[in-house]
Chain A
Amino acid sequence: MQIEKNQKLLLGNAAIARGLYEAGCVFVSSYPGTPSTEITEEAAKYDEIYAEWATNEKVAYEAALGAAIAGGRAFTGMKHVGLNVAADPLFTSSYTGVNAGLVVAVADDPAMHSSQNEQDSRHYAVAAKLPMLEPSDSTECLEFIKLAYNISEKFDTPVMLRLTTRISHSQGLVTLANRQELPLKEYIKNDSKYVMKPANATKRHPVVEQRQSDIEEYANTSTLNRIEFNDKKIGIISAGDSYVYAKEAFGTSVSYLKLGMVNPLPLKLIKKFTDQVDKIYVIEELDSIIESFCKANGVNVEGKNMLPVIGEYSQQLLNKNLLSKENDYNELKINIPVRPPVMCAGCPHRGTFYVLKKLGLTVIGDIGCYTLGSTIDTTVCMGASVSMLHGFNKVRPESADKRVGVIGDSTFMHSGITGLVDIIYNNSYSTLLILDNSITGMTGHQQNPCTGLTLKNLPAKAVSLETLCKACGVENIQTVDPNEVDTFEKILKSELTKDAPSVIILKRPCALLKTVKKDSYARVDADKCKSCRACMKIGCPRISFETKKAVIDESLCIGCGLCTRMCKFDAIEIISRASN
């Protein structure tokens, strides 16, 4: 194979961004979420595309819909749970349709590498009656984006692009092409199409139903779906990453119907395929959607009777479950301790959680790095800390002084504000901690409305958390550095006893930020160390006990100094790297 100059290894997400560029997309608005984040980060690198971080996925979707109706090709990308947030505009935009093309990418996370649930977003395409494409590799990521815009404009519909972690986060070879420069489409006022009041919406629903059957007809002949005939004893119907696992496991020993469009499904094409093969397996990660569709239409297939609805698939899983075949391998007959993700050395959340644990509080958690805090009682979804805290306190008011909510700065912007307003409006006593680390941390350092910079690194007005909370009606607002554990503890105790809502803003930047100095480290004086293990209480991954004395891994310590506050014997000192 000759690699041409215009061929490149690209991450699936970067290939999508390239597809957006080549398809003449002019507007991208998203909220970060693993495994979708890099699409928008990569798109922002093209000067021709306006790209932004929105406050949440609903806002992003609506902004992209507005841009598309205004006449520019638009895009929004999100993780699967982000689509739950954007579901409201998603469903009704199916009725309004678009003007210029609108593509929404949703990245599912089978096996939950970095997520709180394992939902299968294909259900949304079925429920909202929207076409959904599903690429199998980086090449298709790029090509399908271009096709998605064509479908969007041809059938006047938003188009969904479904990804999974392995597609988003695998690099594969793509062929680059030039950008298609498109003039904005004319915007013509059309209230019967864009104003979805009942009188208009009732007329749009039949349009949606007709569109569904038109697109199904298109799917029967589109190059998105293809039959690969080999031996006809076994036929496999598959899509996305499941298809490449099947190819890896079975090669050319079976025939394939490879679906690039997973909604609507092409019944005629499926029948054409299944009529010519003896035994048919549907291989689809997560839920039974293709299989259920086949069975509902009288097509005799197997699949979920042998394959799980839980977790990721792989060639190994298919070999084992369908062929009872397993590889030989070596393994050590020893107990290998697990290595769960932990808060980094110098993490600003460490001081916060030390105090929460010390006071034995119930901690209503949220989505972010602080989910790794050992004392968290609940984690459900973005913003839930604030509103769940409210519910907890209304039902158990007598223990409200033993309970806090914790939420990060970006998550608070995303969907914490409405919960806080609810607390104020409904006369709650809740105490909320906003962990302001000056960045969107877990997804890998994205700017947000509090940081004063946009996605394209342009200066922006930074939202002041203090002013915002005050405007919501909070009268007790305190700001403190979480590493000042004694001060924080004092403030927290005081706020918890108040008969009014309180917000404590714990302000300290993420230790991984380049702007955070890492020019010192902590060292234990073994002579002074009394082996009391007080320093171990903060759960820092750099402190361990090797020879009955505390030892600090100096190379990976950033000298945040939290451990020095734990030691009553002054056995830990901060040493400047410059003095070495």
Chain B
Amino acid sequence: MTKNMMICGVGGQGSLLASRILGQAALSQGWDTKVSEVHGMSQRGGSVVTYVRYSTNGRVASPVICKGEADVLISFEQLETARWLPFLKKNGKIITSTQKIYPMPVIAGNAEYPQNIIEEIEKLDVNISECDAIDVARKLGNEKVANVVLIGLYAKYSDLDKQIFTDAVKACVPEKFLQLNLTAFEAGYNY
């Protein structure tokens, strides 16, 4: 069985680390895994999406996820949740931060940031869990770990054991920042 996970957000929010942690978690179970990343220009404050795919019984062919294919969408920002929603399967799971980052057209007054995104998504055929990840991370002393807070929240709903994720965090985060990231993971898991 192939499982498709997407991580979306705004360039600079830490989606690369989050996708690497999820990839490492799958790999540690002996499952063929592919993780597709974004580098370069689109990273500069643009809309960023990464894909993590693993197969529990075979090989993963394509590195990308298309419309209606994702089992899970982990989003760091509300507008991005709305943007990438079509990639989620019907009945799929969304983990989203309630953070809002205004894109330039909104800042410049040429477009409006949509209201009630999460409420509107709740009316659809999906299962959504939200979390003010930035606030949680801020209370831990560093907003940068909001990404790992969301991974923690995802772990709560995942079929995989918690230990698999914490081991993956240990494998992906440099020693210097490990304790902070593990605390962030716990905070998300217990949210």
CA distance A372 to B44 in the complex (A): 9
> How many Å from the CB of B132 to the closest CB on chain A?
13
Chain B contacts for A25, CB-based, 8 A? none
Check if A332 sits within 8 Å of B117, measured CB to CB: yes
Check if A173 sits within 8 Å of B33, measured CB to CB: yes
Q: Is B112 an interface residue (CB 8 A)?
A: yes
The secondary-structure label for the interface of chain A is: loop
Check if B61 sits within 8 Å of A35, measured CB to CB: no
Q: Which of A212-220, A221-229, A323-331 contacts B (4 or more CB under 8 A)?
A: A323-331
Check if A3 sits within 8 Å of B30, measured CB to CB: yes
The interface bits of chain A over 330-348 (1 if a CB of B lies within 8 angstroms of the residue's CB, else 0) are 1110111111111110000
Most-contacted residue by chain B among A327, A335, A371, A444 (CB, 10 A): A327
Check if A341 sits within 8 Å of B42, measured CB to CB: yes
Check if B68 sits within 8 Å of A9, measured CB to CB: no
Name the contact of B104 in the complex, choosing from A166, A316, A342 (C-beta under 8 A): A342
Check if A170 sits within 8 Å of B36, measured CB to CB: yes
> How many Å from the CB of A531 to the closest CB on chain B?
13
Check if A332 sits within 8 Å of B121, measured CB to CB: yes
Check if B27 sits within 8 Å of A244, measured CB to CB: no
Chain A contacts for B125, CB-based, 8 A? 330
Interface size class of B (residues with CB under 8 A): 35 or more
Chain A contacts for B66, CB-based, 8 A? 314-316, 327
Check if A170 sits within 8 Å of B86, measured CB to CB: no
Chain A contacts for B62, CB-based, 8 A? 244-245, 247-248, 314-315
Check if B44 sits within 8 Å of A344, measured CB to CB: yes
Q: Is A369 an interface residue (CB 8 A)?
A: yes
Chain A contacts for B82, CB-based, 8 A? 332, 334, 336
Considering only CB atoms, which chain B residue lies closest to A327 in the complex? Answer: B68
The interface bits of chain A over 19-56 (1 if a CB of B lies within 8 angstroms of the residue's CB, else 0) are 00000000000000011011000000000000000000
Interface residues of B in 23-81 (CB under 8 A from A): 23-24, 27-28, 30-47, 60-64, 66-69, 79-80
Q: Which of B87-95, B150-158, B179-187 contacts A (4 or more CB under 8 A)?
A: B87-95
Considering only CB atoms, which chain A residue lies closest to B43 in the complex? Answer: A341
Q: Which of A201-209, A262-270, A484-492, A536-544 contacts B (4 or more CB under 8 A)?
A: A536-544
CA distance A314 to B104 in the complex (A): 29
Name the contact of B44 in the complex, choosing from A315, A316, A335, A343 (C-beta under 8 A): A343
Check if A544 sits within 8 Å of B102, measured CB to CB: yes
Check if B126 sits within 8 Å of A169, measured CB to CB: no
Question: What 7 A-B pairs have minimum CB-CB distances, sorted nearest first?
Answer: A327-B68, A114-B40, A34-B40, A316-B66, A341-B46, A170-B63, A248-B62
Binding site for A on B (CB under 8 A): 10-12, 20, 23-24, 27-28, 30-47, 60-64, 66-69, 79-80, 82-83, 85-90, 102-109, 111-114, 117, 120-121, 124-126, 134, 138, 143
Could you list 24 A-B pairs, sorted by A, with CB under 8 Å?
A1-B32, A3-B30, A169-B39, A170-B36, A171-B35, A172-B60, A244-B63, A245-B61, A248-B61, A314-B64, A316-B69, A327-B68, A329-B87, A331-B85, A332-B85, A332-B114, A332-B120, A337-B103, A338-B103, A339-B45, A371-B41, A372-B41, A539-B104, A555-B134
